[in-house]
Chains A and B, each alone.
Chain A
Amino acid sequence: MATTITKPETLFGKRVRRQEDPRLITGTALYLDDLKMPGMHHACVVRSPHAAAKIRGIDTSAARALPGVAAIFTGADVTGLGAVPCAASIPGLRVPHHHLLAQDRVYYVGHPVAVVVGTDRYIARDAAELVEVDYEPTAAVADPEKALAAGAPAVHPEWPDNVAFNFHQEGGDTEEAFRQADVVVRQRITSQRLIPTSIETRGVIAEWRAGERSLTLHSSTQIPHLLRTLVAGILGMPENLLRVITPEVGGGFGSKLNVYAEEALMAYIAMKINKPVKWVESRRENFQATIHGRGHVDYFELAALRDGTILGLKLKLIQDLGAYHQLLTPVIPTLSVLMMPGLYRFKNVNADVVGVFTNCVPTDAYRGAGRPEATHGIERMVDMLAQELKMDPAEIRLKNFVHADEFPYGTATGLTYDSGDYAKPLHKAMAEAGYEQLRREQAAARAEGRLVGIGLSTYGEICALGPSIALPAGGWESATVKVEPSGKVTVLTGASPHGQGEETTFAQIVADELGVPMDDVLVVHGDTAVVQYGIGTFGSRGTAVGGSALYYALQDLKAKMKKFGAMMLGTEQVNFSGGYCVDEATGKSVTFAEMAVAAYHAKKLPANTEPGLVATHFWEPPNFTFPFGAHLVVTEVDRETGAIEIKRYVCVDDIGRIINPLIVDGQVHGGVAQGLGQALWEQAVYDESGQLVSGELTDYALPRASRMPWIESSHTETPSPVNPLGVKGVGEAGTIGCSPAVVNSVVDALSPLGVRHIDMPLTPEKIWKLIEGARA
């Protein structure tokens, strides 16, 4: 027994490089398409080239005749199977039956019509080309506002108005607020359709074991357990005979927070042909058939007093849903409504949402999922109000912030903000950027005729999704901690990280709590046969909810280890610290490894204590968390080309306590890049006929290294009282804070020309036309 104990360094808050990286930087990590099974076949999906058409017939004879083709499936084969699920429960929601393959009609470009299975992927693709589908194109509508107009083509013939649902939410007395107002600003603001574009596309391998009647589904997903429950439901198979394994996942951003037709189809096909079958999405398919994000047309009205006090907000929100509901499609705009008050004190909100069917691929959760749209709207409106009142945009924000002493703060939309000090990151961002000096430089630049802008956004978001009441399938998370007989520690998390680095942050938490080296901790996730049920990784919940579940499991485990320690030391009172149990009275101690051996060898047990060292905790969060922050962007616009240069990007994000600053920096940078993508470059473009014009990476402008500014990122830390770690979540902050700051900056640059608002993306063409228009 040791007597000299050195307390190990605390890892919470340290820039620790990641545990998951060695396999990723050496090319030895295994993603979906890297997996091979004996006898594995390959599937290729035949998709509709039309946005709307009747299917008059499908001729598969030429495809079937190709050597190496094992099977072909069309809509008729899957009519009796379940539908692609939607988990939303909005009253009166119209839910079209979303068959795994098109039946007598197709509803969007990319709609799956048939699946061809061959012995290799080249044969499957060749054969897919030979499937002859006889289409009778019908009128299509791709624009949600046009879809609402009288006489528009009906996406689903049974609902000629194209309305899937109406949703209303209000708080306070908006009419009275508008009566009291000195000034009302109004603006139509769009948040364009975006394509999430994880660099790894989706992919599935299904493996059927006929003897066991069991099916293993490997899928590049963010939600292995929910996928298992829902695919079992679609196929009508017992859930406990389905195993979902998530291999290394090459990004998701919400696009893999879903249950797709192909996942159920491959499971079904593997059973039918009694061979493992692999399907890997091409990039074109990824753009056509994986969910898109955003797709808002919002009509805002903001009422205020002349001194800048905001009184109330009205919103009419038109959500482009696409042709079907995927898992959470109709839920996303309701999240926007929740976030409408932003960081401000006004208590009067009145929002009407209409969800509209269009002949496009469904929209659903993409990084931020409803909150970027809301933040973009309110932050643009606040700037327009400042412009109208000739107030400084920082001053009007400071005037309207919820005060630091008002938390927990109940909002007009029924949320309770957990903690905050909203002025702090704004002041810090302004200090770091040198705001006063920047304004002086701007004035000088303007005097020279240059177009220089300074833009702010002060955003709030809803993270750590979330209390179960708010999520259709529950909002808790689970963790199991096992101390093995050798003293090594295995964590099983119900979260499903795919780049967020939780193998590292969770190991940091374990190392701190148990006093073991990080390298002794293995974090396992993404296999439903190994890990207890979990919800998954999305909505900035992995660490805030999954990490908290882990924290509580560790407390249970420590309590049990202390019992063993006390027994071994022959005392009642011991301290557990730094990997030892210590009898403070005698100074004697037992090591972590000695306690682990004792617990498993079980020659002697403490009273009322079972052998073994395993603890599982399912943690239900009492509330969301509400990160916040301030982004400040300096831009200059080239008068001749309309090109925008980002000269400074300063962001101060308050995401609660920070476990690993290195990982947090990465999340902020990546989030900002996606926000900047929306602000400046990205747009999913459907033409009038519903054809996806931005159908490949050649036509969809993703942020590139050469176009990204240097991001000056820092933090304030306001702990969340919601969870024991005090963390809030960082996955979406950068994306949410970014786009309004950029647009506000460019509008500020162009304001001498009388520009008041510009819709995203701010392409040089759009900017150049505005400049030319002002000249005319």
Chain B
Amino acid sequence: MKQTLTLTINGKSYSDEVEPRLLLIHYLREVAGLTGPHIGCETSICGACTVMLDGMAVKSCTMFAVQAEGRSVLTIEGLAQNGKLDPLQEAFWNEHALQCGFCTPGMIMTARQLLADNPSPSEQEIRHGLEGNLCRCTGYQHIVNAVKAVAKAGGA
């Protein structure tokens, strides 16, 4: 039943025997041991599980792990380099863009996609770009500020 899955996560190669029905988020969390991306709904509404797949933000609760065969995944754990925070991480910290932090890994990934698509977004464009990620704590205002700050400083 199981099949071999080979992929790259955060620049590192992984190969595991997995059930075809295993969701990518469960693979990341349970098999690869990367618990940064979270599960908030399993219906692709909340976005807590958002990771980058070949440079595109995807909700990893709504795809199978085997669909990531041969592809490259970036999770929140892969953002900081040599102990230096990514500009979005730094901005989320500076602007108090998180409270409980549960949505944050997914929110940062979506913000990364947003800035990749549009390096100088307006406030409305930021809000629209974050629409697929739910935060129950912040009311989003500080998240918008964080994305603005990164855009102003020249991007993620």
Contacts and interface: CB of A to CB of B under 8 A. Distances in A.
Interface in A373-406: none
B131 A706 contact: yes
B45 to A, nearest CB: 4
Contact of A251 (B93, B102, B128): B102
Interface stretch (A132-140, A197-205, A297-305, A308-316): A197-205
A27 B40 contact: no
B32 interface: no
B65 interface: no
B38 A250 contact: yes
A199 B37 contact: no
Interface string B30-41: 000011111111
A199 B93 CA distance: 19
B77 interface: yes
Given A29-B101, A697-B45, A670 B127 contact: no
A24 B75 contact: no
A696 B134 CA distance: 14
Interface in A646-677: 662-663, 665-666, 669-674
A512 interface: no
Contact of B136 (A30, A282, A666, A670): A670
Given A34-B35, A199-B102, A697 B93 contact: no
A27 B92 CA distance: 13
B74 to A, nearest CB: 11
A26 interface: yes
B37 A27 contact: yes
Contacts of B130: 704-706
Contacts of A34: 29, 35
Given A27-B76, A199-B136, A200-B102, A705 B93 contact: no
Interface in B134-150: 134-144
A705 B127 contact: yes
Contacts of B37: 27
B43 A666 contact: no
A27 B137 contact: no
**Of B34, B41, B101, B105, most A-chain CB atoms within 10 Å:** B101
A18 interface: yes
B152 interface: no
B19 A248 contact: no
B63 to A, nearest CB: 16
Given A34-B29, A698-B45, A25 B108 contact: yes
A498 B127 CA distance: 25
A200 B40 contact: yes
Contacts of B48: 199
B46 interface: yes
B130 to A, nearest CB: 4
A17 B93 CA distance: 7
A708 B140 contact: yes
B100 A26 contact: no
B77 A499 contact: no
A698 B89 CA distance: 29
Contacts of B35: 27, 30-31, 33-34
A522 interface: no
A335 interface: no
Interface string A139-170: 00000000000000000000000000000000
Nearest to B75: A27
Contact of B77 (A28, A122, A200, A673): A28
B85 interface: yes
Contacts of A17: 93-94, 96
Contacts of B126: 705
A589 B23 CA distance: 63
Contacts of A20: 101
Interface string B72-83: 000111011000
Interface in B108-156: 108, 123-124, 126-128, 130-131, 133-144
A122 B20 CA distance: 12
B43 A696 contact: yes
B98 A25 contact: yes
Interface in A232-266: 248-251, 253
Contact of B139 (A24, A197, A670): A670
Contacts of B140: 669, 673, 703-705, 708
B109 to A, nearest CB: 10
Contacts of A498: 100
20 contacts: A24-B98, A25-B101, A31-B35, A121-B26, A197-B136, A199-B103, A199-B136, A248-B101, A249-B100, A251-B99, A251-B102, A251-B136, A499-B99, A499-B137, A500-B99, A666-B96, A666-B142, A669-B138, A670-B137, A708-B140
Please list the 4 inter-chain residue pairs (A to B) with the smallest Cβ-Cβ separation, ordered nearest first. A27-B36, A250-B102, A24-B101, A499-B100
Interface of B: 19, 21-22, 26, 29, 34-43, 45-46, 48, 75-77, 79-80, 85, 89, 92-94, 96, 98-105, 108, 123-124, 126-128, 130-131, 133-144
